[in-house]
Amino acid sequence: MAISPKLRTYMDRCRVQFEELGHPPTLEAARTAEAAHVSGRQVAKGVLVRAGEEYMLAVAPSSRRVDFDRLRRWLGREVQLASEADSGPLFPDCDLGAIPPVGAAFGLETILDDDMLNTEHIYFEGGDHKTLVHVDAANWRRLTRDASHCAISA
């Protein structure tokens, strides 16, 4: 499958330079970092959450987990993990569970963990379980320019 067409279109529109890196198939972002020989701090994982009737994308390093208590306090409303079944219609051109952490490409509000702002190189799943996208910090900022950020991981 490679990179999601929606993601590719969004990256082109944002004039983002990126590199595609193949890796052995994995089902977890932390395992993807290992398979690609990249630090888990540099691999961004997208976690689909539901806040009321709205879906949002929480993005954190693969070496950490989204802290739902922190996210609830920051948003000021109840938040829960969305199911994989919920992700299908929102990410129709992605493999199940391979959510790119760029919500704007899919019409979703994105909340970045503060740790994702201090990394020189970012890697993330492009829509399947065997392709990583690599961007530098400047291009990552272009992709996530409309995202909010706070300390949401532990």
Alpha carbon separation from 71 to 79, 80, 91, 105, 148 (Å, rounded): 7, 10, 22, 22, 12
How many independent structural domains does the chain possess?
1
Q: Tell me the pLDDT tens digit for each residue of 35-76.
A: 666 777 889 999 999 998 899 999 999 889 999 999 999 999
Note down the domain range covering 21.
5-150
Q: What is the CATH number of the domain that holds 105?
A: 3.90.960.10
Q: The pTM is what?
A: 0.90
3-state secondary structure the chain: CCCCHHHHHHHHHCCCCCEEEECCCCCCHHHHHHHHCCCHHHEEEEEEEEECCEEEEEEEECCCCECHHHHHHHHCCCCEECCHHHHHHHCCCCCCCCCCCCHHHHCCEEEEEHHHHCCCEEEEECCCCCEEEEEEHHHHHHHCCCCEEECCEC
Q: Tell me the pLDDT tens digit for each residue of 109-147.
A: 999 999 999 889 999 999 998 888 999 999 999 999 999
